[in-house]
Homo-oligomer: A and B are copies of this chain.
Amino acid sequence: MNAIGTSVPRLEDERLLLGRGRFHDGVIRPGQLWMRVVRSPVAHGRIRGVDTSAAERLPGVVSVITSADLVGMPRIPVRQPAPGMDFTPYLQAPLATGFVRYVGDPVAAVLADDPYVAEDAAELVALDIEELPVALDARSAADLELECFGGHRAEVGIIEFGYGEVDEVFAGAAHVVSTNLRVGRHSGTPLEPRGLVAEWDDRAERMTIWGATKVPYFNRRVAAQMIGLPEHRIHMLETDAGGSFGVRGEFYPEDLLVPYLCFRTRRPVKWSEDRAEHFVAANHARQQEHDIELAFDEDHRLLGLRNEAWLDNGGYIRTHGAVVAVLTASMMSGPYRLPACRSRVHIVTTNKTPIGTYRAPGRYQHNFVREHALDVAATQLGADPVELRRRNLLDATEFPHRRAIHIFGSPMVLDGKDHLEHFDKALASSEYQAWREQARAARESGRLVGTGCAFILEKAGLGYDSAIVDVDTTGAVRVAMGGANVGQGIETVMAQITAEEFDVPAESVKVVLSDTDILPDGSGTFASRTTVVGGTAVKQAAEAVVRKARRVAGVLLGADPEELRVEGGTLFAPGDPDKRLTLAEIARVCFTPAHLRNGEEPGLIGRSTYVADGMTYPYGAHFAQAEIDPGTGQVRLLRYAITYEIGRAVHPQLVRQQILGGAVQGIGGALFEEFRYSERGEPQSITLNDYRWPRASDIPEIRLDVFEDSPAPGNPLGVRGAGEGGTAGAGAAVANAVRDALQLTGDVGALPLHPERVKELLRRRDGGDADRPARDA
């Protein structure tokens, strides 16, 4: 019944297809109130007054709160502290206190009997805000001293990673290639905006919250601590979600406001984000500017990398803290033989929506910047970009490859195998050299066709997770773990991992995710960690059940527990096929006096906590072929291919879908998606007409080859994360293809490569200018 490695039907689908999914907006509690957030229309300003009286008078309004109601409440903390960095002055309060820092900053919250009254009332809240100068460019804003942050600088701090004698290497290098690159501001923008429902139970003196999807245990902890409630008094229940991508489910101001208002009124409170709100309220991502330099010897061997980057963090430091900067800076060293590296990222606040983590945070950036710089270097060195990569990729002799860097407390050990071999396989399977030939031929015929490739380094499998596997007296198997269902098929995968141990069909396993009553602690779903870490915890919990089942069945069957064979949920003694016990039979016996043990939980239940030693580093390659319309500047992707080393695919089809979906999002950020702002800091992309999602017609068929050549040595499943590799390389491959199509000698300057920007690249190239466009905000 080999469950792992089989693309079984998704457990989630029956529910979703029959309309029995439960999304936050489908949670309707008797007597529920609706919350509406009053947001700042000003990007930076001093709050002189908030007049809620007209709103409060509107029939149906139950309550209007401002920061005055939250005096003494701590600000929203970071989830992963960065050693040595104090975020305190930069943290966001649930409702703006004294100052507003971006358009969309919550200033007040209205609670009313229905959503329409709430929205009307929100418009009656009169904000008196004195506008202050706005900062919209991180690099130039770094030194500003800001009154709203108690005089602290806009630059929160600098994250630096490095090793080797970088400056010496550069001084002695045969070739140094420098460039300046920018990644645009885009984000997850899931199909279903965010939302929460909280309900107070007067008997149990506790609250149930629906809608926290990413890190429910962390969110419970923060809400409890901020409100001043025991954690036990908050019960998080799983919901379905229309996409997450790292954006949904962080602890946002609304994640405090909804439970706070519920606790204050003891009534159910619901909040459902609208699209325009989502575009200013939910975390933005990505926006960084990089100065990157590569040093080579005469044989085009990489000697060193220097990177100085500015991360446009937006108005406050949110829960991610410095994670994006850490992942950018630390992983800039990439998949290559690199004797020396210094990589710094300045975290700078500006007057835009705060940023957070979005699928492949940091890796979208570092892969784009390094891989695009390599292409620029190839041109400047007169080398072939493919060969330049082949020369420098780590090969079989170099693994495991330890960088003299610690990330999140663990040493950075690239745990894959032969990256060069992977690249060669990728070149073959993608037929990339043929694409290059075709592009060359097309260019010769006057078309603007080019190709680009990128070798990417990813990471996955962070932290720890717990799981419970329980076989009840009916033989039913339930697994509880701390991830979240955000559309990725996690229920199916966890069921497969469990089913494998019992040799039962995956569909017979019930999966419960992040129910804080059933499982006391969990780490959530982010950073491609759920299968790696949570899946391992699940496997170990299932193994514990099998161990106990063997012990009990061994006694009953008079057999050596280790010699029992587990087949189809039944344990067979050797020799006699009638000497067998089903899991249900064993479970029933476990509750009888003879099989109870002091200190051991009754029944067939297993618990596990798995603490990952460090991360695992998947890797892969992206290939693009693009054509540019010289009239409009529009980039059309003709071909796209991805290879990815997954270690082991629990559900191959889900791995493919994750990677393909991720690639579409990566392409979106490479070509289309951008949050733009006016000079006054007013967001210009608050509808889906302005914020351009990729469409089906924008995406060519993507050839995807998933390799299982290098099982991750750090976990017993051998899995590497699959969630972000499709995204991480798209910016690089697309930019390289556009650059090739335009036959630039320099870089493309910035992502996304929307028509406006491509036309400027064309103009500058054809005008003989330096082929980089001017900087824009």
Q: A473 within 8 Å of B by Cβ? A: yes
B591 touching A611, Cβ below 8 Å:
no
Most chain B CB within a 10 A radius of its CB, from A225, A228, A468, A540:
A225
Q: A229 within 8 Å of B by Cβ? A: yes
**A518, chain B: closest CB distance, angstroms:** 5
B225 touching A473, Cβ below 8 Å:
yes
A466 touching B232, Cβ below 8 Å:
no
Q: In the bound complex, how far is the Cα of B221 from the Cα of A494, in angstroms?
A: 25
Taken residue by residue from 1 to 42, chain A's Cβ proximity to chain B (1 for < 8 Å, 0 otherwise) reads as 000000000000001000011100000001000000000000
A-B contact pairs, 27 of them (CB 8 A): A20-B202, A20-B203, A22-B203, A205-B510, A221-B472, A224-B472, A224-B474, A225-B474, A230-B472, A231-B473, A231-B474, A232-B472, A232-B510, A409-B593, A463-B593, A464-B593, A464-B602, A466-B601, A468-B520, A517-B517, A518-B518, A520-B601, A521-B601, A521-B605, A540-B599, A596-B611, A598-B610
Q: A478 within 8 Å of B by Cβ? A: yes
B603 touching A520, Cβ below 8 Å:
yes
B470 touching A520, Cβ below 8 Å:
yes
Closest B residue by C-beta to A517 = B517
A478 touching B230, Cβ below 8 Å:
yes
In the assembled complex, which residues on chain B have CB atoms less than 8 Å from the CB atom of A52?
Answer: none
B605 touching A609, Cβ below 8 Å:
no
Q: A476 within 8 Å of B by Cβ? A: yes
Taken residue by residue from 180 to 212, chain A's Cβ proximity to chain B (1 for < 8 Å, 0 otherwise) reads as 000000000000000000000011110000000
In the assembled complex, which residues on chain B have CB atoms less than 8 Å from the CB atom of A466?
Answer: 601-602
In the assembled complex, which residues on chain B have CB atoms less than 8 Å from the CB atom of A603?
Answer: 520-521
In the assembled complex, which residues on chain B have CB atoms less than 8 Å from the CB atom of A548?
Answer: none
In the assembled complex, which residues on chain B have CB atoms less than 8 Å from the CB atom of A607?
Answer: 601
B520 touching A517, Cβ below 8 Å:
no
Q: In the bound complex, how far is the Cα of B591 from the Cα of A322, in angstroms?
A: 19
**A531, chain B: closest CB distance, angstroms:** 18
Q: A616 within 8 Å of B by Cβ? A: no
Q: Which of A206-263 contact B (CB under 8 A)?
A: 221, 224-225, 228-233, 240
In the assembled complex, which residues on chain B have CB atoms less than 8 Å from the CB atom of A540?
Answer: 599
Q: A597 within 8 Å of B by Cβ? A: yes
Q: In the bound complex, how far is the Cα of B515 from the Cα of A466, in angstroms?
A: 20
Q: A608 within 8 Å of B by Cβ? A: yes
In the assembled complex, which residues on chain B have CB atoms less than 8 Å from the CB atom of A602?
Answer: 464, 466, 521, 609
Given the interface pairs A464-B602, A521-B603, A596-B464, the reply to whether A470 lies near B232 with Cβ below 8 Å is yes
Q: In the bound complex, how far is the Cα of B598 from the Cα of A593, in angstroms?
A: 30
**A406, chain B: closest CB distance, angstroms:** 12
**A241, chain B: closest CB distance, angstroms:** 13
Q: A600 within 8 Å of B by Cβ? A: yes
Taken residue by residue from 359 to 373, chain A's Cβ proximity to chain B (1 for < 8 Å, 0 otherwise) reads as 000000000000000
In the assembled complex, which residues on chain B have CB atoms less than 8 Å from the CB atom of A512?
Answer: 204
Q: In the bound complex, how far is the Cα of B599 from the Cα of A225, in angstroms?
A: 27
Q: Which of A515-535 contact B (CB under 8 A)?
A: 515, 517-518, 520-521
Q: In the bound complex, how far is the Cα of B471 from the Cα of A521, in angstroms?
A: 12
A230 touching B610, Cβ below 8 Å:
no
**A589, chain B: closest CB distance, angstroms:** 13
Interface residues on A, range: 35 or more
Closest B residue by C-beta to A594 = B409
Q: In the bound complex, how far is the Cα of B268 from the Cα of A30, in angstroms?
A: 14
In the assembled complex, which residues on chain B have CB atoms less than 8 Å from the CB atom of A15?
Answer: 203, 205
Those 3 A-B pairs whose CB atoms lie nearest each other, nearest first: A230-B476, A22-B203, A231-B472
**A617, chain B: closest CB distance, angstroms:** 19
Q: In the bound complex, how far is the Cα of B597 from the Cα of A609, in angstroms?
A: 8
**A210, chain B: closest CB distance, angstroms:** 10
Closest B residue by C-beta to A230 = B476
Closest B residue by C-beta to A588 = B221
Known: A231-B473, A470-B520, A602-B609. 4 other contacts (CB 8 A): A520-B601, A593-B611, A596-B611, A597-B611
Closest B residue by C-beta to A29 = B30
Given the interface pairs A203-B20, A601-B609, A602-B609, the reply to whether A591 lies near B472 with Cβ below 8 Å is no
Q: Which of B203, B233, B472, B474 contacts A21 (CB 8 A)?
A: B203
Taken residue by residue from 558 to 581, chain A's Cβ proximity to chain B (1 for < 8 Å, 0 otherwise) reads as 000000000000000000000000
Closest B residue by C-beta to A510 = B232
A230 touching B510, Cβ below 8 Å:
yes
Q: Which of B233, B517, B597, B598 contacts A515 (CB 8 A)?
A: B517
In the assembled complex, which residues on chain B have CB atoms less than 8 Å from the CB atom of A231?
Answer: 472-474, 476
In the assembled complex, which residues on chain B have CB atoms less than 8 Å from the CB atom of A597?
Answer: 609, 611
Q: In the bound complex, how far is the Cα of B374 from the Cα of A502, in angstroms?
A: 61
Q: In the bound complex, how far is the Cα of B47 from the Cα of A269, in angstroms?
A: 53
Q: Which of A601-623 contact B (CB under 8 A)?
A: 601-603, 605, 607-611
Q: In the bound complex, how far is the Cα of B655 from the Cα of A140, in angstroms?
A: 74
Q: Which of A442-473 contact B (CB under 8 A)?
A: 463-464, 466, 468, 470, 472-473
Closest B residue by C-beta to A464 = B596
**A536, chain B: closest CB distance, angstroms:** 10
Most chain B CB within a 10 A radius of its CB, from A205, A230, A591, A599:
A230
Closest B residue by C-beta to A225 = B474
Closest B residue by C-beta to A21 = B203
Q: Which of A88-117 contact B (CB under 8 A)?
A: none
Closest B residue by C-beta to A221 = B473
Given the interface pairs A21-B203, A611-B596, the reply to whether A521 lies near B230 with Cβ below 8 Å is no
Q: Which of B230, B233, B468, B609 contacts A596 (CB 8 A)?
A: B609
Q: In the bound complex, how far is the Cα of B517 from the Cα of A466, in angstroms?
A: 16
**A78, chain B: closest CB distance, angstroms:** 14
**A544, chain B: closest CB distance, angstroms:** 9
B521 touching A518, Cβ below 8 Å:
no
Given the interface pairs A600-B609, A601-B609, the reply to whether A229 lies near B521 with Cβ below 8 Å is no
Closest B residue by C-beta to A228 = B474
A230 touching B474, Cβ below 8 Å:
yes
Q: In the bound complex, how far is the Cα of B232 from the Cα of A184, in angstroms?
A: 48
B476 touching A232, Cβ below 8 Å:
yes
Q: Which of A117-133 contact B (CB under 8 A)?
A: none
**A434, chain B: closest CB distance, angstroms:** 48
Q: Which of B221, B464, B478, B599 contacts A232 (CB 8 A)?
A: B478
Most chain B CB within a 10 A radius of its CB, from A21, A409, A603, A605:
A603
Most chain B CB within a 10 A radius of its CB, from A512, A521, A600, A605:
A521
Q: In the bound complex, how far is the Cα of B478 from the Cα of A474, in angstroms?
A: 30
Q: In the bound complex, how far is the Cα of B523 from the Cα of A596, in angstroms?
A: 13
In the assembled complex, which residues on chain B have CB atoms less than 8 Å from the CB atom of A30?
Answer: 30
Closest B residue by C-beta to A601 = B609
Q: Which of B20, B224, B518, B608 contacts A517 (CB 8 A)?
A: B518
Q: Which of A255-281 contact B (CB under 8 A)?
A: none
Q: In the bound complex, how far is the Cα of B221 from the Cα of A610, in angstroms?
A: 31
In the assembled complex, which residues on chain B have CB atoms less than 8 Å from the CB atom of A476?
Answer: 230-233
Q: In the bound complex, how far is the Cα of B206 from the Cα of A22, in angstroms?
A: 14
**A205, chain B: closest CB distance, angstroms:** 8
In the assembled complex, which residues on chain B have CB atoms less than 8 Å from the CB atom of A468?
Answer: 520
Q: In the bound complex, how far is the Cα of B592 from the Cα of A611, in angstroms?
A: 11
